[in-house]
Structures are given as structure tokens and as C-alpha cells.
Amino acid sequence: MRPLLSRRAWLALATAALSRTRANAATSDELRRTLPIALPRDFGAHPATGIEWWYLTGWLQAGAAADPTHGFQITFLRSRGEVAPDHPSRFAASQVLFAHAALSDLQAKRHLHAQRIARAGFGIAEAKLGDTDVRLRDWALQRHGPPHADAIDASSAHRYTSAVRTPDFALQLRFDATQPVLLQGEAGWSRKGPDPAHASLYLSEPQLAVHGTLERNGRREPVTGTGWLDHEWSDALLPPTAVGWDWAGINLDDGGALTVFQLRRADGSALWAGGSHRPRGGAVRTFAPGELRFTPLRRWTSAATGASYPVEWRIESPLGTHLLVAAFDAQELDSRSSAGTAYWEGLSELRDAHEARVGRGYLEMTGYAGRLRL
């Protein structure tokens, strides 16, 4: 068979790939030199980095319900374009913003979602510096609080507000911090692979107290609940041999917070794993890669994409053995028309070895509908 590319072309591609790898490593070192994380500055956008997201998840109780009635996801993602930031054209896509919103109806076992994409500028899309203020048309996420570093120490120094409106539902929510900001990894430096070049700066805010309104089918009702926020930015997040990741952020019933994740190879084996546990009022324990083990137990196959997702997991960690079980199976989000990928993201329950619930949170699984490309 005739080769698709000449030897010279293959060498050029290989050289370019090596240059990108070296550039990523250098940029990753520069990213690490921005430590320590400084607040409120690092609540805001970091447009010099390749990719960044603000990611809110949690559960809601509508009206007088005693148990959760809905799960929700609101994500704003910023990506640096290939165009130089000083390009003279206002139409140059130096920054692109994506937004995803999803609602899981636990009673109907129905998953609703919507997505948006726009280049930054023109008053349409913006992720501001200095503090959380992200907008994409009429979807928004903002932080409100004291303009100093108390937010990392005080238990309730600030709050977030977010509003999204889709053809199927609308959310207007307030998220009040009840605990200090949780810095993942080493003071916010979170490794994502054997090579230190693959890492992110990563902060979380678990146990957020949620209040607001849910509008659906012409009916508007008050909701309360518990949420989780992740803010992460990176230049080289995904190692070349990784196809995707499995991640869970769990608000524990005892007030603690559990984060677990693994990056997978194409054969399903773990390339890297990490996470943390912070007991209520206690210090963060960061997990080493060898301290976590993910074992898939039951799978669900999407009729839309053909992807097969593990919707039940056994997770072994320094906290013991737990089961992570999806609230219901069909919580796939097909964002191939915006971010270019399909992934599973849904409300899930953490159970102990006796199958008693010990927490709730969100499970995210990427790379099952094809290799994830950031």
C-alpha cells in the first residue's frame, strides 16, 4: 500500500509533535511558577492558558420535597484559539467560550441538556480577569464576595450566582460557600500523568448551599440543594496515551468532600489516578496514584452515540471500598456540535461496603465515544 504521507512529511509531523510536547512542558513549568494560588485573582480567567473551565454540579429539591428531585450541571469552558491575542481583527477567534447546561429529572429519569459556543468579544461572550465573571449571551456565572484572600480561609466569605435559560428548562441559582476553598493536589498543582508536564491548577468548592428557582413546562418553583464547583486551567492536561478520564466529586453526608479521578488508556487501564479527601473541619489528604483503584461493575450503552459507559463502579481508596452508582443510566451529554465530544455526566450516589448511602455528587466519564480531544 502506498503511504499517505512521504517520509519527509512524516518527519515534519513528528518534529512538530515533539516541539509541541517540549512547548507544553515549558508552559507547564511556567504555570507552576504562578503558584501559590492567589484569591480572588485566580477565581477569574487565565487567557494565556490553553483551556479552562468553571464547573457547577449538584442536586436540587423542588418545592417541599424531602429528597432530591433533580440533578444539575452548569459548565463554562474557555479555550485559547490559534490566533495571536494581538491580532488586529476583532473577528479573530483568540478565545472561544463554550457553555453546557443539563438537568436530570430523577422521577421521570429524563436528562435534558443544552449547549452554546461563541468567540469571545462583541458583548456576546466573555471570561473576565481578576474574579469569576463568565458570560455567554444570557447565560452567566459570577462570584460575589470580599475582594481579598479571606475566601480561601473563611467558611462563608462569598457566593456565586448563575442563570441559564434553555428551550426545556431555566435555572436561576445562588451558591453560598459553607467551607474554605479546597486546593487540589499540591496546593492547587494537580498532576494528570506520569510526566509532570501534564498537570493543571485546580481548586474546588464543595458543600455549596444552593437556593433559587427552577422553571419547566411553564411552571416556576423554588429549589434548594447542595452543590460543588470546580475551577481548573491548564496547557497540557491530557497525556498522549490517555483517551479520557473518569472523575467524581462527592459531597459526603458527614460534611466532608471526596474527589477521585483516573485517566485511562485505550484498553481501559489506568494511566494515572488522583484525588483528595477533606473531612468536615479537617485537613486535606491528597491521594497518591497507587492509592486509588476504579473497577467498572455495570455498563449502559447509549443509543445515540453507541458509547458504553460504566454506570456503577467499585472505588477503592484510603477511605475504604465504596460503590458509586448512577441515579439513572441515561445521563449522556452529546456536545459534538460545540465542544466536539460526547460524554456522560450525571448525579450519582456513593455507598459504603454495606450499600448504605454516604454521599451524593456527580460522576463524569469522557473518552468512551472516541478519544477526548481538548
97-138 pLDDT per residue, tens: 999 999 999 999 999 999 998 888 778 899 999 999 999 999
Higher pLDDT, 22 or 173: 173
Which domains can be identified in the chain, with CATH numbers? Answer: 23-365 (2.40.370.10)
Phi/psi for 16 (5° steps) reads -65, -40
Judge whether residue 17 has pLDDT over 90. Answer: no
Judge whether residue 26 has pLDDT over 70. Answer: no
Predicted pLDDT at 27? 54
Predicted pLDDT at 31? 76
Judge whether residue 347 has pLDDT over 60. Answer: yes
The reported pTM is 0.88
Mean pLDDT of 167-173: 97
Predicted pLDDT at 13? 32
Predicted pLDDT at 115? 92
Predicted pLDDT at 5? 33
Predicted pLDDT at 142? 97
Judge whether residue 175 has pLDDT over 90. Answer: yes
Helical (H) or strand (E) element with 287: strand 285-287
Tell me the C-alpha to C-alpha distance, in Å, between residue 120 and each of 93, 126, 235. 7, 5, 19
Residues 6+ apart with CB under 8 A from 73: 55, 56, 57, 100, 101, 102, 113, 333, 345, 362
CA distance 234 to 181: 19
CA dihedral over 336, 340, 342, 347, signed as positive or negative: negative
Burial label for 75, CB within 10 Å (0-12, 13-18, 19+), is buried
**What would the pLDDT profile of 292-342 be if each residue is shown by its tens digit?**
999 999 999 999 999 999 999 999 999 999 999 999 999 998 866 555 678
Judge whether residue 10 has pLDDT over 60. Answer: no
Beta bridge partners of 162: 141, 173
Judge whether residue 18 has pLDDT over 60. Answer: no
